Structure 1
Amino acid sequence: MRGLWMVALFAACSGEAGAQDAAAGEKIFVVCKTCHQIGEGAKSSIGPSLNGVIGRKAGTLQGYSYSAANIKSGLTWDEATFREYIKDPKAKVPGTKMFYAGLKDEQKTSDLIAFLKQFDADGKKK
């Protein structure tokens, strides 16, 4: 009986570890702020504004000069695609202008995605 209880506890904790945490994602986004803005009043600078990025077609934000590789990638930034990209941008989109070594930690990536998903295309929190 004790063994079953331990298995149930482990299963519950394992599921919790994979949960997305937008507050933790906001802390991870501090690194992204070097090149990207998000929220009301966000503008493109070194990198494009990330308002509404989850669900947006790559290379389509008006007013930002994307690389040809990004424009021609045919990608849409859903969670799975963003997860692959942020792990190693140059591997996912060879020729991208994004100079970032990548975010390898799956939990941090999940948290970052949760943070990004909060913002619609106008920078308002959903």
Structure 2
Amino acid sequence: MRHILLLSAAAFALTACGGSGDSEPAATSTPAPATQSAPADDPAQADDPAQAATETPTETEDAIEAAADEAETDMSAALAALPAPYSEADLANGRRQFRRCSSCHTIAEGARNLVGPNLHGLFSRNAGEVEGFNYSAAVRESGIDWSPEHLDSWLQDPRGYIPGNRMSFVGLRDANDRRDVIAYLMIETAAE
């Protein structure tokens, strides 16, 4: 299905870029498929989208695929190294669940605070410690160290866990969703 969509998009792009219509109509015979994907000697031919569509994957595409495979292996190894129950988490679901959080929080090291604080290094600090973020007194005075267990309780019911905080999120009621997003955060926000 993906290949059909890509071919359809390529055909549409070629049709849309077909020129002014003043030239002679194109021949109706179908060209033979390319049997060799050697680099073009003619510079005009090198930019031909039809030729590019028939070429085999490039070294760059292979490198991207290899990097993606390596990243997936690294994520699997990182997941396996987490303590139970987080080692059994579904990281894809954790990433999906975090999308709700990403409108207010960033996770990359050095990223700016948004409506909520940056979460990089979350599990190596206490609540209310991100420099430059204006926490509520309730969070600053909570004395909570962000462990996976504290974060689980916080995510289940932020208003109930630390009354008086300003976070508007209503919480994640599903225990598996909380486990998954916590595992995702344990991996993605780890201070190195």
**Partners of 1:23 and 1:39 in 2: CA distance:** 18
**Deviation, structure 1 residue 55:** 3.1
Cα separation, partners in 2 of 1:85 and 1:64, compared to 1, 3 Å = same
**Deviation, structure 1 residue 19:** 1.5
Instruction: Tell me which amino acid in the other structure corresponds to 2:184.
Output: F
- What residue is the counterpart of 2:45 in the other structure? none
**Is the counterpart of residue 79 in structure 1 residue 113 in structure 2?**
no
Task: Return 5+ residue gaps in structure 1 as ranges.
Answer: 1-14
Of structures 1 and 2, the larger Rg is shown by 2
- What residue is the counterpart of 2:130 in the other structure? 61
1:46-57 equivalences under 5 Å are: 46-57=115-126
Instruction: Tell me which amino acid in the other structure corresponds to 2:175.
Output: E
CA deviations 1:3-37 (Å, max 9, x no partner) are: xxxxxxxxxxxx99x81222321111111011111
- What residue is the counterpart of 2:167 in the other structure? 98
CA deviations 1:49-74 (Å, max 9, x no partner) are: 01111232000111111000000000
Larger RCO of the pair (alpha carbons < 8 Å, separation 6+):
1
- What residue is the counterpart of 2:93 in the other structure? 24
**Deviation, structure 1 residue 41:** 4.5
**Deviation, structure 1 residue 89:** 0.4
How well do the aligned residues superpose, as a CA RMSD in angstroms?
2.0
TM-score by length of 1: 0.78
**Deviation, structure 1 residue 94:** 0.6
CA deviations 1:65-120 (Å, max 9, x no partner) are: 10000000000110111000110001010110101111011111011011111123
Task: Return 5+ residue gaps in structure 2 as ranges.
Answer: 1-83
Structure with the largest fraction of helix: 2
**Partners of 2:138 and 2:109 in 1: CA distance:** 28
Instruction: Tell me which amino acid in the other structure corresponds to 1:28.
Output: Q
Percent of pairs with identical residues: 36
